[in-house]
Structure 1
Amino acid sequence: MSAIKRRSFLGAIALTPLMSFQSVWAQGTTLKISHQFPGGTIKEGDFRDRLCHMFAAEVDRRTKGGLKFKIYPGSSLMKTNAQFSAMRKGALDMSLLALSYAGGEVPEANIGLMPGLVTSYEQGYSWKNAEVGKELSRILLDKGIVVVSWIWQAGGVASRTKAIIDPADAKGMKIRGGSREMDLILKEAGAAVVTLPSNEIYAAMQTGAVDAALTSSTSLISFRLEEVSKSVTTGRSKAYWFMFEPLLISRAIFDNLSKEHQAAIMAAGADLEQFARQAAQQDDVAVAEIYKKAGANVVDLDDASVKKWQTIARATAWKDYAAKNANCANLLKLAEKLL
């Protein structure tokens, strides 16, 4: 009996001791999808939660009910930073997660939030079929993770005070970066870095523990940061960082599925990438509208500003990342081919 079916079988027996063997199997398999973002529906809310609902419905349809899903938004199943490790162990089935959160456990993962390395959606989405994407997928597979949907998001900066456009603007401020590499460029710019997941930014800004925070456009909206911000730097025109935030499945779980169910998962995941890209770009624009309505100062980046951040990144974050191990050095080299 496979690990998944064994888990479903034992759970069902524990709940209803008299249930027959046949009726347990008739229920099919239900997988859990965990993420940190606000919950919604298949039609409304944070597009990352919507994508999970769309994925669940599509795989259910393709497998004729053989695979079903239960979605746990808002870190309601487990803490954000525990999800990657749990998937590696087979204790969590799936997650839509910023890959950089896994950087402490798998250093290679930090390439998913490397400042200055991805500067457009076209470039980011080209990774999947390029050498860098294939190598990253291989490394993650070796670590027990399967990439189901490639999702990239541009990011901005919400600030309680002044707008952060050039590196000089960050000096003396307490800023949440989101990854080791982002923290390195912020430190070089003279900021004091604060480490916390995006779903904790609001409280930190509200209390003054954080002056500003870098996060995706969608998170700038979903976590209502306009309520605690006086300025925002958007990613709608230019951006010096893009976040890789894929839909992932535990290899231990995936390998125990039938070939037909595996194919349904991967096909549905690929089909949703276009939706994710369009939704992310729409949020890049929506950020400006929402923050302006809230009375915040809205600014955009230009090529000169992006170049300043990229120059710092090359000398700090890129150098530090490449020195981690041979895999990191190779991934960086392959990614630079797409610049």
Structure 2
Amino acid sequence: MTPTLTLRRALVCLPLVSLLALTACGSGGGGGAEDAVTLRLSHQWPDVGVDGDGDHRALIAQRFAEEVSERSDGSIEVQVYPNASLVKATEQYSAMTNGSVDASVFPLSYAAGHVPAFDITLMPGLIRNHEQAEAWGTSTIGESVEEITEEHGVKILIWMWGSGIFATKGDPIVTPDDIRPGMVMRGAGGATEEVLEAAGAGITSLPSNEIYSALQTGVLDGVSTSPSSTISFNLQEQIDSYTASTENSFWFIANPLIISNESWDKLSPEQQDIVQSVSEELQPEAYAMASEDETEATAVLKESGVEVVEMDDAAFEQWQELSKETAWKSFAERVEDGQRLLDEAQSAGD
């Protein structure tokens, strides 16, 4: 058993929480006479396996559900809906703001059509490694993003980040010049698509859980996605080459665990304290497990016979320069306070 799997199995040692309807509780254990609340947590990632293995985003969601239920003595029950089984991947933000979903592990950039500033959380060429990404949690840019989310109906509980790789049929993509004429790609978000299009790619937009079938049917020639999604959705079965993000990443994406403001306000102060405490304790694990997924993805791809290459500093700088000329420029022009957000992001960790 690998150390990664051992860690993950240790993290997910309890059964799934019971599914309860939203109800009032007249009496009980540590929850006292507080109203019992069910939170519906939806995400697009495959469910955790029976052996406790899986995508770190699904694992954190389940661990959150279990810990919150245990510590509240059942006054808060979290019902987890994986694999977009409750709501389509791209519609989870709308579902949260209209009250049909309470919480989600959600790529904020998926909702950039509603809140354009969310594109800062998937801006190509902006973050190159996990250290820079994690610095957002204690920097001005993180505070700004949290303020923006709360202004638009949701609250960040746990920051989660994923690096960006290229997975392609045919030769690997390392620099912008490696985009072949006529190549159709998926770019993970509007800003990324803008950069890939500038490099010469045709674009097809779709969420992570639809990539496999698009590669299988020839709709896509390549994708930019995360290492976690690469192995969670078994993309090694459909690709020839993989540009790992160990040294440099084309982009980083924020996939935080979020809760709607309305659902947060339904919790009592004591219940809010429990949720906040669990979230703070899970935060370091969320960071560590993302890095582990990155390492595991490279191993799985190599074992599957996929050509694995790295993006060196020179190649990253080419992507960064192209990103500044395209996605960064348009973001600063079209988004209120866009340049300020870019400046804050570049200063994260200073």
1:240 deviates by: 2.4
Confirm whether residue 57 of structure 1 aligns to residue 66 of structure 2: yes
Aligned to 2:287: 277
**Native 8 Å contact 2:117 2:336 kept in 1:** no
| Residue-pair matches, total | 323
Alignment of 1:1-339 (within 5 A): 8-9=22-23, 22=26, 28-41=36-49, 43-172=52-181, 173-338=183-348
1:289 deviates by: 1.4
Q: From the superposition, tell whether residues 229 and 174 of structure 1 become closer, same or farther in structure 2 (CA, over 3 Å).
A: same
1:43 deviates by: 2.5
Separation in 2 of the partners of 1:43 and 1:199? 20
Aligned to 2:10: none
**Native 8 Å contact 1:95 1:248 kept in 2:** yes
The normalised TM-score by structure 2 is 0.88
Aligned to 1:3: none
Letter paired with 1:119: R
Separation in 1 of the partners of 2:193 and 2:166? 14
Separation in 2 of the partners of 1:268 and 1:245? 18
Cα deviation, 1:256-288, whole Å, max 9, x if unaligned, reads 211111121122112212112211111211122
**Native 8 Å contact 1:90 1:251 kept in 2:** no
**Native 8 Å contact 1:171 1:189 kept in 2:** no
Separation in 2 of the partners of 1:87 and 1:327? 25
Separation in 2 of the partners of 1:267 and 1:124? 22
Q: Report the aligned-residue RMSD.
A: 1.9
**Native 8 Å contact 1:34 1:73 kept in 2:** yes
Identity of aligned residues (%): 36
Cα deviation, 1:215-247, whole Å, max 9, x if unaligned, reads 111000000000001111111222121111100
* Other structure's SS at 2:259 match: strand
1:90 deviates by: 2.3
Give unpaired runs (5+ residues) of structure 1. Answer: 1-6, 13-20
Letter paired with 2:230: L
Greater than 4 Å deviation, 4+ residue runs: 21-27
